[in-house]
Each structure stands twice: as structure tokens, then as C-alpha cells.
Amino acid sequence: MDAKLVTIGGLRTAFVPCEAESVAVGLFVASGSRHEPAKLAGISHLIEHMLFKGTPTRPALDITRAIEGRGGNFNAWTSEDSTCYYAHLPCEYLDEAVDILADMYLNAALAPDEFAREREVVLEEIKMYEDDPGSVAAENLQSALFPLNPLGRPVAGSGATLSTFTPETLRAYIASHYTAATTVLVIAGRFVEEDATNLVRRAFQSIRTRRARKLSFKKIDWDCPPVAEVSATKDVKQTQLALGYRTFGVEDPRRYAATVMDAILGRGMSSRLFQEVREKRGLSYDISSRMQFFQDVGLFTITAGLDPRQAGATLATVDRELRRLIEKKVGAAELKRTKEFLVGNFRLSHERVTSKMFYHGAMLLSRGRLVDPEEEIDGVRAVTAEEVQAVAREIFTPGNRSLSRVDPK
């Protein structure tokens, strides 16, 4: 692994050199929706939006023009565990990307007029999610799996909470959550390390003035069972199903077997669920699964959109496939094929500098260290059929399951 972790002016910085004509810069903050108290639900996501709305020396339009004018891409996202701001552009403009990201992070203007407009934008974004049956099913599922926990709340918050925020609310939250202790910077692509070091030191020199603090979040109460089923209706023609189970955290060694299990069940057109539900029975146009890992818990979901009359048959087919994994070990050929799929997919994604940047940022936040990609590959390759069966037996239990559905009115 060529990646290198250094501390520059108090800021943990990862350099990931590789042959490329571009460079990706990511600023990762270990502050997401699960770190928020209930009364501030959605503040991390609103802050993410507001950091693009200008600084005392850069109007909002200048920020986006500076990157897009170089042919680059500039964006951000907020999740349950973190917030990320990133730029991808030709390597000769690394200095501009670092300077702009630092300015946004350290000097957000949070002007009242921009704040009022952007809050309305986020409220429209929330309405967009509420109009999408797939998003409604997914959000309701997470609320059912993690009742009484911030993981069960929508990342974007709600109109009720957003209406109470002011620019000063955001300013105070940034001061306590956007510090050197919670932030990592990742630079991946073609660059000169000495030059990049000087860029980071100069751009982030004032980060030391922010009081460092370690953020905490409410741990999952495993004695609080998931809600078995939640349902909603919308003016749609299809039923959206989302079936979910709580799994393991990102540091749990069982995550490798769980990842292989996920791929066997619902990753791609050759997966068991796709073959059984769509190809053999024609019950759904698409069905897939997904495994997510948070700090202390994971989330396994199966989603499908289908004719309401086929919901019962689809759920019965899914249950048969889950029981099949529990009762019978995966065959050697299928296990080998699944591992090759995962390893190949991982290697192909890491040909992109943005993927390298996202990977190392996620590892630094979640595991506190650089993780050689080969370590993850070795973990997948070492999984046995017995381990896949064991995690299936641990995960697929009646008391660990929630079903969310959105049906036509």
C-alpha cells in the first residue's frame, strides 16, 4: 500500500499517490445524523448545504465556478456516521481544491439570506424523498429496525426541527463538531507530497484554534427489539418492499462473511434472489440486497418493487432463500464465484482516484487507521462456507427482522 498518514498542523492527512491525470480531495468529518440530539435532527445535512454558500472572501458562485471551471466535480454528502466534502479535478489544480475546501470548512459565512433560501431547498429535498415510495420504504424500515435511536431518524431531519434552526445554531454546532479531532483530509491521485504538505499546512493553519473534542453517539440497545412491520400508502402503481435485519459493526470480523452472504443473495443478476424472484418466477422487475456497516451495528436490506398482488409470493420466495442459506452450506463453486465477483468489483472500483479517496477516508473515520485494500480482499477470500452459514443463522432470526412496505392507495 502506497498510502501514507501524516498529521499536518493538527489535521490528519492521508496521501494516496497513484498514476493518474487527476486528483481527488476529500474532507471527511466524523459528524453525521446519529451524533445529533433529537431537537437538532437534520443539522449536519443543512450544514453540508450551507458550506457551499460562501465565505467572507468567496461568494457561493465563485466556489462552484472555481472547480467546475477547471472541468472538475465538486460535491458533498451527509450520512448517519459522517459528512464528506470532495473535489475531483485535473491534478495541476490541487492547490485550488485544497484552498477552497479549507475556506469552506473554516470560514463559512452562514449569511442569513443564504440560510433562509437553503433551508427552503432542504425542505423541498425532504418533500422529494417523501414523494418517492422507495425512499419512504427505506426510511420507515430504518426507523423500525432502530426505534428510539438516532439511526432510525432521516438524515435530512424534518420540517419541525429545521424550522427552529438559525445561522447561530449552525455556527455553534460547527465550532463543536468540525475540529481537528473529528476531521481527516485525503488526497489521492498525482501530486508531489512536499507541495501538497505545504498546501495543507497553509490552508488549514487556523484549525488548531478550534477546541478539539471527541464526539459520541447513542449506542444500539440490543434489548429493544425492532418493530416487526410498518406500512404506508401512496398514489403509486407498485408496491415497494424493504426487508431488513440488524447485523454487525464495521470492526466485527464477521463482516467479511456477511459481505459474501449479501453478494450471494442479492448483488447482481446472477444472485439467488434475482434468479428466483425475477428470472424464474417473474414476480418483480428488480430485487437486490445491500449490506451497510456503521460503527457499532450493521444493516442488511432486501428491496423490491412489484405488483401488489405479487407481494405475498415474493416474500415467501425470499424467506425460502434465507432458510436455504441457514439450512444448507453454500457450494464450493458458488462460494468461489461470489468471492471473485467481490474481489474483481473492489479492484475495478479502485482504479478510480475518487474511489481510493472515499475508501481511505471511510477507513480512517470508522477504524482510525489506514487499511490496505489487500487486507479487505484477504478477508473476503478467507471466508468459508461454514462462516457464511453461521452469520445467516445469527442474522436471519424472527426477532431481528423488520418489514416496511408502501402500497398503492
As beta bridge partners, residue 304 has 241, 287
Q: Which of 345, 259, 239 is nearest to 299 (CA)?
A: 259
* 3-state DSSP assignment of residue 111: coil
* 3-state DSSP assignment of residue 20: coil
Q: In this structure, are strands 73-78 and 22-29 parallel, antiparallel, or unpaired? A: unpaired
Query: What is the C-alpha to C-alpha distance for residues 134 and 221, in angstroms, rounded to an integer?
Result: 27
Catalytic one among 21, 36, 48, 251? 48
Query: What is the C-alpha to C-alpha distance for residues 76 and 102, in angstroms, rounded to an integer?
Result: 14
Q: How many CB atoms lie within 10 A of CB 216?
A: 8
| Residue burial 134-157, b: 16+ Cβ < 10 Å; e: rest | bbbbbbbbbbbbbeebbbbbbbbb
Q: Quick check: 359 and 367 in contact, CB under 8 A?
A: no
Q: Quick check: 304 and 241 in contact, CB under 8 A?
A: yes
Helices (H), 164-253: 167-177, 193-203
Q: How many CB atoms lie within 10 A of CB 192?
A: 12
In Å, the largest CA–CA distance within the chain is 63
Answer yes or no: 48 catalytic. yes
Q: 173 φ, ψ to 5°?
A: -70, -40
Q: Quick check: 32 and 82 in contact, CB under 8 A?
A: yes
As beta bridge partners, residue 15 has 4, 187
As given in the structure block, the three cell numbers for residue 398 are: 424472527
Q: Give the DSSP H or E segment for 292.
A: strand 284-293
As given in the structure block, the three cell numbers for residue 238 are: 407498485
Contacts (Cβ under 8 Å, ≥6 apart) of 25: 86, 87, 88, 94, 97, 98, 101, 185, 186, 187, 357
Name the percent of the chain in helix, strand, coil, to the closest 5: 50, 20, 30
Q: In this structure, are strands 11-17 and 183-189 parallel, antiparallel, or unpaired? A: parallel
Which residues are part of the catalytic machinery? 48
